[in-house]
Amino acid sequence: MLRIRRDLVDAMVEHARRDHPDEACGILAGAEGSDRPERIIPMLNAARSPTYYEFDSTEWNAVYTEMTRKDEEPVVIYHSHTATEPYPSRTDIARAGEYAMLLPPPHYVLIGTRDPDVHELRSYCVSDGEVTEEPVEVVEAEYPAAP
């Protein structure tokens, strides 16, 4: 399950709407080992495409270096689908394999923006080419205390 604050959901959706009709992409960073996204890092879609996203390698390296320096990791990798349902494409699944070295593996959040008035948000675990949708719990402000 992915627990995520409403302000982060709103920020991802705003980024997706701003970049529409191109796909938007970015990262939600959180403290190492926490599985709690704490801050959004909107990134440039180097492909500038409505059907494909690609992180700029220079920007990715700078962001990853900054996260490492702050003892953070990518908890969520997100991007938008502008005309199709928010389900990982074959290209998305292959791209997830590029991030297989990240431990723990990030959640993959897709934001559907095909409807100008209503967004769709879904989260997936992608491992070895297998896609599993996971529940998303949106919390209003602070994350609940760990049990």
CA atoms 71, 129, 14, 134: torsion sign: negative
The pair phi, psi for residue 77, each rounded to 5°, is -110, 125
- Model pLDDT for residues 105-146, shown as the tens digit of each residue: 899 999 999 998 999 999 999 888 899 999 999 998 777 666
Q: How far is C-alpha 39 from the chain's CA centre?
A: 11
Task: Give me the number of domains the chain comprises.
Answer: 1
Closest CA to 113 of 47, 15, 2: 15
Distance CA 13, CA 10 (A): 5
Tokens of 140: 């209003």
In a domain, 21, yes or no: yes
Q: Does 144 map to a domain? A: no
CB 37 within 8 A of CB 97: no
Residue at 146 is within a domain: no
Strand pairing partners for 126?
131
Full-model pTM: 0.92
> Does the residue 88 lie in any domain?
yes
106 located within any domain: yes
Q: What are phi and psi of 67, to 5 degrees?
A: -60, -45
Q: For residue 53, what are the domain limits?
A: 2-139
CATH number at residue 37: 3.40.140.10
Residue 69, domain member (yes or no): yes
Q: pLDDT of 52-110, one tens digit each?
A: 999 999 999 999 999 999 999 999 999 999 999 999 999 999 888 777 666 678 999 99
Q: Within a domain: residue 58?
A: yes
